[in-house]
Structure 1
Amino acid sequence: MKKQDSSISSSNSEFSLLQWAILLGTCLFLFIFPYQVALFNGFQFSFEGSLLEAMIYVFILLVIVGIRLLRTWQLTDYRSILSIVVLLIPIMYMLSSINAVASYNAKIMLQLEFMYASFFIIGLYIAVKQLHQEIVGLSIQLSAYGVVIFGFMNLFGQTYYNNALWAADNGYRLTSVFQYSNSYAAFLVAIFLAALFSAVHVKQWYWRAAHSLMLVPIWISLMLTYSRAALVFIPFLVLIILPFMKINKQISYLIYMFLAVVSSFAILSKVKVAADKISALLDPGSQMGKTISLWEPVPLGGWGILLAASVIISLLFTLLHDKLSNWLEAKTTKISDTKRSLVMVPILFIVVGGLAAALILSSSGVRSLLPPSIAERFENINLQQHSVLERETFYRDAMKVSADYPLIGAGGGAWAVIYEKYQNNPYTSNQAHSYFFQTLIEVGWLGLLIVVGFFVWVYYLFIRAYIKNPDLRGNSLLFFILSLAILAHSAVDFDMSYGYLSILVFLCLGAMLAPFHKVLVIPALETYKDKPWRFVYPIAISLSGIILFALVYREYDANLSYRQSLSLAIEQKKPLNELLPSIDHAISVAPDHPEYTMRKINWMEQAFNSTQDPAYRQETKRLIDQLKPFAPFDRSLLLEEYKYYKNMGETNTVLQVLDTSVASFPWNMSFYEAAIMEYFIAGQQEGLTSSEDKDSKWNHSLELYQQVLDRIEHLKSLPEGQLQGREFIVTPLMRQAIGQINYRNKNYEAAYNLLKEDIAGDLTNDSIRVNVRFYLASLHALGQKNEELLRKLVEADENESTAVQQLVDSQ
């Protein structure tokens, strides 16, 4: 019997060690990876290395999780059901890969979704005990506080992180590790509300002091992001959070918030002045990486003001908390147990908050206390500002995409590849600026239903368990606040494209349910409790971790090989034959990666231009054909395909490629320009043998030109506050082709009206001279002359006199 007890003790110890290993691994992840651009998934090579490293780390952790679950996982409660259901999200991404418009993007997104699901499972099973909940919660908060402090170190010049200060029209916007101010603002809102919760609820005075100490820096950071949407979300989030607290805690929460915000505004102008002086000195937008000593007067002053206000708030909250809490509890005892207690303070908050917002927005005296650039941002909060109008356009365009890929979507990362085909105007945005619209595009309505249904189910189970089981709540509301704040803001921005924020959301979703696992049982499943097949799920989890680790490591190996090839080419200036082994290895491992193949195509073109060896052209063709099935909508690939066939003199294929390009990128002037010119040239060639074919080609040029005019006219209908985006105009080359077509068709007035746009242009430019030449000939056909312009043209190129005369003689 003693032997058996010893065996059980040894087993428990072993699995306890695994539990602590998973907990430690999770906490270390939260402290290490935020500084890798918060694991942003921008579908660009520069971000991939960090994502792959993070996934390698997590999938090793997932193998350990599977081993741990061999002991604890049973199909008896909602927790076990949810641990299976969460895997439907990456499975939907796997299914949507069938329709993927960008194979590599879809593959990366599939792996990332498995990583996010892993953190949900970890949260469910690792934050069961009160101690473990506190460790996970503190790790999230302390790592977040580190990100906030790091932001100030960039603001005051003690360190340099690329784009931690984002240059904008109204100065530098603080972004910290995110390199994007709006997502940093969403993160700050979540951390601010969570820090307030902890300041109100923690029992140890030193942790209350620590959380209170960060309230002012977080709020000032939020102001310096200049994010209006984040500020708008705060009152709504507070209204959702308050009913989960007792009435005395609600009042404490609002008092602490008020004092922290007022204190922050009191020093905001001084912090902004110090930051502006340092920015003017270091010019962080120049990417020179300059820093300044902490002990210089300006940064020391900035840090001093910030620290003083933070310490005062921390001391105030720490010293007065017990007295305030006891007093409020005594005053609210009579109504705390009534149903109306849940809504009394929120209603008061709505009234007071509404009055305060009206005062800030309408009172010039109040606004004068704020830095002018921030006050201006407050004044411009309305539904007609360009950021709101642009998001409306993104969402309408997203619905157009979903109409073509309705059920299972266009695959992970689809928006970045095909949005230009559907866009209403020529904006540039590789993100749909909404997690839910981007999910709709990637996995269709079926996938969106699964994702939203999963979130709703998790929150429903939490709210029900939280209300019915006050003795089990523990730290669960902290995780609720963090996940809800990030998810809410992600509805109007691409916060969930940051792996770090997605991980926080899924980890918190799991952790907020973990304390209630004993009351989330499903009695009907009790009969399956000890069935042998309960081991299938844990084994599958570990096997999935091993398989995913192997797949991601292959991608990482290719990434390293490609980076080596770039180092050899750019830094060491090695010859081509020494570059090829590493880049060929990268392509062989990841033939669907556009960056690798496009780089080699570029090197092949350079080699051909230097040697005229046709083998390089043949290799270019092979690479194009190899990549095309994986990336049919890649703009760079279409451009290389066009250049290849043009160089080879295959006119019909050139025209086919350009037709595809114009259809896929209808706001790309370069493709329109090339297509109009190529159809004109093709018509000229066809005219030597067939007048009918010539007219067909030229008519198509005219049709494309009319499309350009129609699109220019459409841009005039955009709302006044909406920015157009990229330039979209009739270019000199377009005028050259259409002007010559009109001239050859003896439509001299149309040629004249079109080509007169270039008569004031630079006559040293060949294209401009051609346009002026045909302008003068058209003018002659209409019975007019411009001797002064002809003289300038001949001065630019003496051959133009003969060229103009030949055109006149051909009339």
Structure 2
Amino acid sequence: MKKKDRPILQTTIDDNNTSLLQWTLLIAVVFFIFIFQFRVALFNAFTVGNGDAFGFEAPLLEAMIYTFALLLIAGIRLIRTWKINDFRAILSMAVLFLPVMYLMSYIGAVTVHNAKLMMLTQFMVVAFFILGLYIAENKLHRTILAKAIQLSGYGVVIYGLMNLFGQAYFPNALWKADESFRLTSIFQYSNSYAGFLTALFLGGLFLVIHCKQWYWRSLHAFMLVPIWISMMLTYSRAALLFVPLLVLIILPFLRIGKQFTYLIYMFLAIVSSFAILSNITIAADKIATALNFESEAGNTFSIWNKQPMIGWGLLIGAALVVAAIITIFHSRLLNWIDSKTEKFTANKWSFVAVPLIFVIIGSLAATLLLASSGVRSLLPASIADRIANINFEQHSVLERGTFYKDALKLSGDYPLIGAGGGAWTVLYEEYQNNPYTSRQAHSYFFQTLIEIGWIGLILLIAFLVLVYTLFIRAYIRNPELRGSQLFFFILSISILAHSAIDFDMSYSYLAIIVFLSLGAMLAPFHQKLVLPSMESIKDRKWRIAYPISLSLIALILFTWVYREYSGNLAYRHAMDLAVVQQKSLDELLPSIDDAINISPSHPDYTLRKINWMKQAFQQTGDVKFRQEIKKLIDQLKPFEPYNRYLLLEEYQFYKDEGQQDRVLQVLNDGIKKFQWDINFYEAAIMEYYLAGEKDKQNNPELTDTKWKQSLELYQEVLNRIELLKTLPETQLQGREFNVTFLMRQAIGIIHYNHKDYEAAKALLVQDIAENLQDNVYARTTVRYYLASLEATGQNDENLYNKLIEADENERASLEELYKNN
């Protein structure tokens, strides 16, 4: 069959379709793009019950309410246009596997609230894929969508620079890093911001060479320098490494002339940025120091202040130069290159020639930059040092390698459908190799593996491969349809590539941009990507089953999320009553109870009420508050079996109740789940020692059993300390993990009771304090140390006198110990 006769060229829908509903959906999506990015890019922080992540939830729920309303409209729209013989129909059904997998893993999730939130988030994300498939089917809508994404990105860049130069304040828009500040803008995390900037920069270059109107070309060219400056000030080494790799992926899709102009403009923007980077860094550091950004005081500078004027002047000046050069010479440059490469273009392998040249020149440039101190001296010292340290032995690379190994260990226990959304947040400490702290797995694909298992990950990868394969095939076969869809390809591949080594996709806004772009890049080929085998049934009445089902799903999700949002509002009202208005407990309880009734799995709600019940009991002594605490603990535990804060509340409750066996049970559970938390080891060693001390008179066998547990736990701590010494020299250990004062005291006393006086002395002598007056624990250590000395025929008169001066009762306690030696 000849290529022109292939069924793939069949038509399914009119490209000029511009119905009112279509316009409504497009405008609503554009509005979403401009508004919700400034809500910390809709970051899903995963709550653990300490309240730190709670502030991220409301924007996420608001975005879901908005999205599911859009999805309902889209479902109604698709009743008329959805055809089963259209590849979009197959993809719009296939993409639902992602939230369905999250729904399946939600049923047995290890953290029910986070799994629920992640499942709803995935429905929101795939809704934008479906929207992208159907709202970007004509050229005008694609153009509007592309400009909306890019312009909204420019807004983020400008706002980030306003924070850098002191005209705006956004919490954590700058991070202190050594002597400089890392730019994070609205993301509050520099690496994910760098991933976003990479997509903006490469997408902006594409728009520069494809815009028809000179003023749009000027705008996109003008923003290249601010974007690159911003990316350099994120200090993200990974982003710099990804740029040339992504350029290699993009170039083959362009004709030879545009390949050259793409690289020339990129080179021009980068060189211009480097020319002013040192002075901008100096100005920005002075501003950050003067405004004391670390204090989060929210101070700002006038733009007319000297340092901001220097920064903005350099930046705008360089950007104007680049924009002017590109705007003036673009047509002539492109025509000249086209004329010089006309004959060469006829070669079928010509499209890979420029990428090969780029690889050679890029490799030489990278070698020169890394090897030459003279070249690096042109850059700010902080940036030059980070570039010079790019290697596979740097701590960030080694730490990510550890994350991924631990993720594989974790997935081994939840292989098929995973442990549910947010599982890494509560499970990683049970599997971690060393005591690092990371609430994110730092990889979209490894996090997906943990949350929805190997089945979910394989389906996700298969879906992405299918989408990109369809796009590449359609792009090659239909040159007459080429245009802005490549922009969406650039955005999606750039963010996805960077998300392989960081948690960019935990920013729901970025995930939405990716899936919206995946849909939009296929939408132009809707007339070509059809299924001839389905032609005979495309108009059957039952075809409306999917659009109606989609509408019903949207309605259910809208209702579900709205209810969750009402719980969020109730909790915020309770906190306002408590913190701002300082109302009585009776006035707080109705709101907090409403929140818990709406979302009983939410750890923040229940743990907050437990805290209030504890305070009420301490103030009144009324046992009904303690009973309520037990009830709340039992209610939350099935939803949050791995929650550290709930475990600590349970431990404290049983300790206050004097239920020693339950205390030990909770601590053992804590050590199993948090194997690098030294506080659990310390508490367990002390509790086993105290339990043994209590049984010493009546049941010495139990004493030996419990003290043996203390000794074994202590040895486990020592073994883990030795294990940490095997970490590569450049890999950071993470949290502190060392033997504590109370551990040494408990184990020292146990050694003393076992008449191993040398071992007792060796431990206790490490904690002899200068001040014994107001420190009963320090006096206990000294008492047993002196007793150990006496048992081995030694003494320390000065220390003995110091102890007696601190507390005369210690004389009798010491005499009692001496008798038993």
Q: TM-score, normalised by structure 2?
A: 0.96
Match of 2:814 in 1: 804
Q: C-alpha displacement at 1:800, in angstroms?
A: 2.2
DSSP 3-state at the match of 1:214: helix
Aligned with residue 102 of structure 2, among 93, 101, 104: 93
Match of 2:197 in 1: 188
Aligned with residue 29 of structure 1, among 28, 32, 40: 32
Match of 1:774 in 2: 784
Indicate yes or no: 2:30 matched with 1:20.
no
DSSP 3-state at the match of 1:148: helix
Contact 1:473–1:516, Cα closer than 8 Å, also in 2: no
Cα separation, 2, equivalents of 1:776 and 1:61? 76
Match of 2:335 in 1: 326
Q: CA, structure 1 residues 14+502, in 2 after alignment: closer, same or farther (shift >3 Å)?
A: closer
Match of 2:308 in 1: 299
1:304-319, aligned counterparts within 5 Å?
304-319=313-328
Aligned amino acid, residue 110 of structure 1: M
Cα separation, 2, equivalents of 1:449 and 1:170? 43
Match of 2:10 in 1: none
Q: Could you give the per-residue CA deviations for residues 458-501 of structure 1, whole angstroms, max 9, x where no partner exists?
A: 00110111111111122111000000000001010000000111
Indicate yes or no: 2:794 matched with 1:784.
yes
Cα separation, 1, equivalents of 2:804 and 2:287? 55
Contact 1:184–1:225, Cα closer than 8 Å, also in 2: yes
Cα separation, 2, equivalents of 1:99 and 1:586? 23
Cα separation, 2, equivalents of 1:766 and 1:397? 42
1:541-556, aligned counterparts within 5 Å?
541-556=550-565
Q: Could you give the per-residue CA deviations for residues 548-576 of structure 1, whole angstroms, max 9, x where no partner exists?
A: 11111111111111111111111111111
**How many residues are aligned here?**
801
DSSP 3-state at the match of 1:161: coil
Cα separation, 2, equivalents of 1:68 and 1:367? 57
Q: C-alpha displacement at 1:762, in angstroms?
A: 4.6
Match of 2:622 in 1: 613
Q: CA, structure 1 residues 372+296, in 2 after alignment: closer, same or farther (shift >3 Å)?
A: same
Q: C-alpha displacement at 1:301, in angstroms?
A: 1.9
Match of 1:709 in 2: 718
Indicate yes or no: 2:180 matched with 1:177.
no
DSSP 3-state at the match of 1:100: coil
Match of 1:668 in 2: 677
Q: C-alpha displacement at 1:770, in angstroms?
A: 1.1
Aligned with residue 572 of structure 1, among 567, 581, 586: 581
Contact 1:732–1:767, Cα closer than 8 Å, also in 2: no
Aligned with residue 108 of structure 1, among 102, 112, 117: 117
Match of 2:640 in 1: 631
Could you tell me which runs of 5 or more consecutive residues in structure 1 were left unpaired when the two chains were aligned.
1-11
DSSP 3-state at the match of 1:172: strand
Match of 2:694 in 1: 685
Aligned with residue 736 of structure 1, among 738, 742, 745: 745
Match of 1:493 in 2: 502
Match of 2:534 in 1: 525
Q: C-alpha displacement at 1:738, in angstroms?
A: 1.1
Aligned amino acid, residue 812 of structure 2: T
Contact 1:75–1:525, Cα closer than 8 Å, also in 2: yes
1:338-353, aligned counterparts within 5 Å?
338-353=347-362
1:177-216, aligned counterparts within 5 Å?
177-216=186-225
DSSP 3-state at the match of 2:132: helix
Aligned amino acid, residue 808 of structure 2: E
Indicate yes or no: 2:84 matched with 1:75.
yes
Q: C-alpha displacement at 1:792, in angstroms?
A: 2.4
1:350-749, aligned counterparts within 5 Å?
350-749=359-758
Q: C-alpha displacement at 1:15, in angstroms?
A: 7.5
Contact 2:101–2:456, Cα closer than 8 Å, also in 1: yes
Match of 2:44 in 1: 41
Aligned amino acid, residue 33 of structure 1: F
Match of 2:7 in 1: none
Contact 1:18–1:68, Cα closer than 8 Å, also in 2: yes
DSSP 3-state at the match of 1:408: coil
Q: Could you give the per-residue CA deviations for residues 482-535 of structure 1, whole angstroms, max 9, x where no partner exists?
A: 000000010100000001110010000000000011111111111110111111
Q: C-alpha displacement at 1:689, in angstroms?
A: 2.2
Match of 1:146 in 2: 155
Aligned amino acid, residue 754 of structure 1: L
Contact 1:274–1:302, Cα closer than 8 Å, also in 2: yes
Match of 1:3 in 2: none
Q: TM-score, normalised by structure 1?
A: 0.97
Aligned amino acid, residue 776 of structure 2: D
Aligned amino acid, residue 777 of structure 1: A
DSSP 3-state at the match of 1:726: coil
Contact 1:99–1:409, Cα closer than 8 Å, also in 2: no
Q: C-alpha displacement at 1:14, in angstroms?
A: 11
Aligned amino acid, residue 148 of structure 1: V
Q: C-alpha displacement at 1:248, in angstroms?
A: 0.7
Q: Could you give the per-residue CA deviations for residues 560-604 of structure 1, whole angstroms, max 9, x where no partner exists?
A: 111111111111111111110100000000000000000000000
Match of 1:8 in 2: none
Q: C-alpha displacement at 1:761, in angstroms?
A: 5.8
DSSP 3-state at the match of 2:582: coil
Q: C-alpha displacement at 1:359, in angstroms?
A: 1.2
Q: C-alpha displacement at 1:765, in angstroms?
A: 2.5
Cα separation, 1, equivalents of 2:586 and 2:756? 55
Q: C-alpha displacement at 1:402, in angstroms?
A: 0.3
Q: CA, structure 1 residues 761+495, in 2 after alignment: closer, same or farther (shift >3 Å)?
A: farther
DSSP 3-state at the match of 1:339: coil
Aligned amino acid, residue 697 of structure 2: L
Which runs of 4 or more aligned residues in structure 1 lie more than 4 Å from their structure 2 counterparts after TM superposition? 12-15
DSSP 3-state at the match of 1:412: coil
Q: C-alpha displacement at 1:736, in angstroms?
A: 1.7
Q: Could you give the per-residue CA deviations for residues 601-632 of structure 1, whole angstroms, max 9, x where no partner exists?
A: 00000000000000000000000000000000
Contact 1:210–1:314, Cα closer than 8 Å, also in 2: yes
Cα separation, 2, equivalents of 1:718 and 1:779? 38
Contact 1:49–1:556, Cα closer than 8 Å, also in 2: yes
Aligned amino acid, residue 766 of structure 1: V
Q: C-alpha displacement at 1:339, in angstroms?
A: 2.0
Cα separation, 2, equivalents of 1:786 and 1:396? 52
Cα separation, 1, equivalents of 2:289 and 2:194? 24
Contact 1:561–1:582, Cα closer than 8 Å, also in 2: yes
Cα separation, 2, equivalents of 1:475 and 1:761? 74
Contact 2:769–2:778, Cα closer than 8 Å, also in 1: no
Q: Which has the higher mean CA deviation after the structures are superposed, 648-657 or 499-508?
A: 648-657
Q: Which has the higher mean CA deviation after the structures are superposed, 783-792 or 656-665?
A: 783-792
Cα separation, 2, equivalents of 1:663 and 1:318? 64
Q: C-alpha displacement at 1:13, in angstroms?
A: 12
Cα separation, 2, equivalents of 1:434 and 1:14? 39
Cα separation, 2, equivalents of 1:456 and 1:761? 67
Could you tell me which runs of 5 or more consecutive residues in structure 2 were left unpaired when the two chains were aligned.
1-14, 47-52
Indicate the RMSD between aligned Cα atoms, in angstroms.
1.3
Aligned amino acid, residue 167 of structure 1: K
Aligned with residue 237 of structure 1, among 221, 228, 246: 246
Cα separation, 1, equivalents of 2:19 and 2:544? 19
Contact 2:17–2:138, Cα closer than 8 Å, also in 1: no
Cα separation, 1, equivalents of 2:385 and 2:465? 37
Q: C-alpha displacement at 1:158, in angstroms?
A: 0.6
